Amino acid sequence: MNQNRVEQLKIFLADEPHDPFLRYTLALEYLKLERDAEALEILEKLLVENPDYLPTYYIIGNLYQKLQSNVEAIVTYEKGMVIAQEQKNDRTYRELKDALDNLMF
């Protein structure tokens, strides 16, 4: 079922290749399929091209942790917290802070 969603998202992305939501959603589908490398590639590119797309930080931070890249996770959570503050998004700031605190302690 998820593979069908991947194919559908790829079709949508062919029409709108820079849509951050579509790219983020495709990465989530790859994560569900345990295709971490493909998800990571999309998420890293998303952060470069759309650094203000806040949902990316939590997901990629968790993926870095899963891949034992804790330094990258810490840096990612911290960057996301800065952006959440700039966007006055308290909920996401708390989620990122909690993830960071759980990683650190």
User: 13 to each of 62, 78, 99, how far by Cα in Å?
Assistant: 24, 29, 30
Q: How far is CA 10 from CA 15, 38, 39, 62, 93, in A?
A: 9, 13, 13, 24, 31
pLDDT, tens digit, for every residue of 65-86? 999 999 999 999 999 999 999 9
Q: With beta carbons less than 8 A apart as the criterion, state whether 59 and 42 touch.
A: no
pTM: 0.92
In this prediction, residue 3 has a pLDDT band, given cuts at 50, 70 and 90, of: confident
CA-nearest of 27, 14, 15 to 53 is 27
Q: Where are the domains of the chain?
A: 2-104
CATH number for region 2-104: 1.25.40.10
Query: What's residue 92's pLDDT?
Result: 97
Residue 1 has pLDDT above 70, yes or no: no
Report the pLDDT averaged over residues 17-44. Answer: 96
* d(C-alpha 41, C-alpha 33), whole Å: 15
